[in-house]
Structure 1
Amino acid sequence: MTNPLLDLLAEKGVLLADGATGTNLFNMGLESGEPPEFWNTDAPDKILTLYRGAVNAGSDVFLTNSFGANASRLKLHKAQNRAHELSRVSAELAREVADTAGRKVIVAGSVGPTGEIMEPVGGLSHASAVEMFHETADGLKAGGADIGWLETISAPEEYRAAAEGFALAGLPWVGTMSFDTAGRTMMGMTSAAMAEMVEGLENAPDAFGANCGTGASDLLRTVLGFSAKEPKRPIIAKGNAGIPKYVEGHIHYDGTPELMATYAVMARNCGAQIIGGCCGTMPAHLERMRDALDSRPKGEKPELEQITSALGPFSSESDGTDGNAPVRAARKGRRRS
């Protein structure tokens, strides 16, 4: 069976993914606490604008507006029975944009965490998690998504459950985790441990990596951790546009388009083949990232000092692999912004 993502990657060598969902939708008027997924049916023109912004900026891959389209998260809004529908419609709108792009563009169905903690620490059973991921993945497939894109995962148990859900839906997938706790995920997983876990999955992702977390510097240090394990599958890097700061009651990301262009090139040099932005990343950032990837030659893997010199300091001294990183208590999964 052919895989459109891997086919395009083989053709181009490096792919540019998209940027933020939440940041862009907030700029269009989304209110804090309002589920972005409701806009798939209530404001489809705005979702089409979101998608076209990424494609017009040069993205080869863009994610659907379905990050929180699972029964657990939608239950908070009394809409748990709409998970399949909202996932499907998000992909249908994306398919419309991709099919009229004038070039090959991959529709990636975004799948975020359930927002619950899995057994034995929490109350979510493996079977229930698998079924939630299956429902979302099936909706995305029905809507025309080329692949599933798991993101912002912290727990290996949830990653494994998602792998089973994608298998049940018959949807190829990729998956990233968020390393935001001194080089580890909130549940304590290191970059090295993730690389090893991925290779051992029965339904392994076609690519894996990191998204969100803290700043671009930290994410690239994580990518270096992946590449050091010499993985068999492509690495994904989807870093935030700078560090989040509160400005007049709102979260603001201070990363400029120029900084994100440098980040994109350095991500490629660190070993990533699918490179995009996460929170705070706008079409203006993507345009500069596209230009940089197309115009600047690939270089050697950067040293840590080169990363911090170009992108700013790490948020912690440890990359999480030396055993000294703290492990925070579990908390609810957050939305991709």
Structure 2
Amino acid sequence: MTNALAKMLAERDWILADGATGTNLFNMGLASGDAPELWNVDEPDNIRTLYRNAVNAGSDLFLTNTFGGNASRMKLHGAENRVRELNRVGAALGREIADAAGRPVIVAGSVGPTGEIMAPMGSLTHELAVEMFHEQAEGLKEGGADVLWVETISAPEEYKAAAEAAGLAGMPWCGTMSFDTAGRTMMGVTSAAMAQLVTRLNTPPLAFGANCGVGASDLLRTVLGFADAGAALPLIAKGNAGIPKYHDGHIHYDGTPELMAEYAVLARDCGATIIGGCCGTMPEHLRAMRNALETHDRGPRPTLEQITAALGGFSSALDGTEAAGDAPEPRRGRGGGRRRRDA
């Protein structure tokens, strides 16, 4: 298997990733509580449209519709025995669209959290987590994914398990965590701690970074934290399109295409190489981001004041770099692992 993403990273100053998966699929009729991964088989034309819209909007890399495609999460829908099939088909549909693009486009096999709490706090052992991630990885590999894309992880133990699974599958991978608790993940990981974590893995990622979380401002503050920690690997920024608000019976993200264009340029100036959107990011946002990255030269590192002036204020005064005594406690329970990425 050729490492298409490594080649692109070596040749490009920036790479535009995709936007939201959930927001787009809900607009196509996916019902809340249904498993999007089942649409890989049941509604393949919708998944082709999802992928094609990202490519047509300018994405160089898009994620497969397999975020919750592990045995633990698929068990909730009685589909735990279909993990390999659903991941294979999700990647194969992506391969079809990427190969027809007429330019290099990376198919990134999305791998989300298991939804379980890792031992010793919970019952999920390292061995079982590796087994679940490996099963998913093999399906994505069979379908033709170029790279595994581990995302929205909160616990370092789960990140390590996913890295080991990628090694077992012989797949290159990237990995992001979600920082949504005053500059920390739900399980208390800081940007500096994540930067240190990736250097200690036996199977290091091609790139690492942050996705989802609170808003674009917070995410860029985390990216600056990676850079301050001396990150040597390429950085990923995949922020939400603004802040979610409840309006007319549904969740709406208030980020405009203009705001996401500002975010994309600032993300590159903060040090990110792979730049995309997460929840609420639609094709019109991606087109604006692409245009901004193509028409604006790389600038100096932005200050926190410049970030908030362009994108809005931070959700908290803490950024994960404060003294340990000021840190918020990790949130307990299954809530963090069970959140579905909307990207």
| TM-score when normalising by structure 1 | 0.99
Q: Which one-letter code corresponds to 1:109 in the other structure?
A: G
Tell me, in whole angstroms, the C-alpha distance in 2 between the residues paired with 1:295 and 1:163: 36
> Take 1:50 and 1:99, find their aligned partners in 2: how far apart are those partners?
15
1:84 to partner: Cα distance? 0.8
**Deviation of the 1:298 alpha carbon:** 0.5
Q: CA deviation at 1:244?
A: 1.0
1:229 Cα deviation after fit? 1.7
| Partner residue in 2 for 1:327 | 329
1:234 aligns with 2:234: yes
The residue that corresponds to 2:341 in the other structure is: 336
State the Cα deviation string for residues 253-297 of structure 1 (Å, max 9, x = none): 000000000000000000000000000000000000000000001
**Which residue does 2:101 correspond to in 1?**
101
| Local SS of the residue matching 1:314 | coil
Work out the CA distance in 2 between the residues paired with 1:118 and 1:230.
28
- 1:262/1:292 contact within 8 Å kept: yes
Distance in 1, Cα, partners of 2:132 & 2:319: 32
1:1-337 paired onto structure 2 within 5 Å: 2-322=2-322, 323=324, 324-330=326-332, 331-332=334-335, 333=337, 334-337=339-342
Residues 183 and 325 of structure 1 are in contact (CA less than 8 Å); yes or no, is this contact kept in structure 2?
no
Q: Give the whole-Å Cα distance in 2 for the aligned partners of 1:173 and 1:296.
A: 29
Using structure 2 for the length normalisation, give the TM-score.
0.97
Alignment partners' CA distance in 2, 1:254 and 1:150:
26
Counterpart-to-counterpart distance in 1, 2:329 and 2:39 = 36
Query: 1:195 corresponds to which letter in structure 2?
Result: A
Partners of 1:181 and 1:327 within 8 A in 2: no
Partners of 1:319 and 1:264 in 2: how far apart? 20
Question: Offset at 1:2?
Answer: 4.9
SS in 2 for 1:88: helix
Mark the runs of 5 or more structure 1 residues left unpaired by the alignment: none
- Note if contact 1:64-1:109 (Cα within 8 Å) is conserved in structure 2: yes
Identity of aligned residues (%): 71
How many aligned positions are there? Answer: 337
> Which deviates further from its counterpart, 326-335 or 157-166?
326-335
Q: Runs of 5+ in structure 2 lacking a partner?
A: none
User: How big is the shift at 1:198?
Assistant: 0.4
SS for the counterpart of 2:77 is coil
The residue type equivalent to 1:60 in the other structure is: D
Mapped partners of 1:329, 1:226: distance in 2:
23
Any conservation in 2 of the 1:88–1:141 contact (CA below 8 Å)?
yes
- The 3-state SS of whatever aligns with 1:76 is helix
Amino acid at match of 2:158: E
4+ residue runs of structure 1 moved beyond 4 angstroms? none
Return the letter of the residue paired with 1:273.
Answer: T
Q: Aligned letter for 1:192?
A: A
The amino acid that maps onto 1:335 is: R
Take 2:246 and 2:151, find their aligned partners in 1: how far apart are those partners? 24
Amino acid in structure 2 at the alignment position of 1:313: G
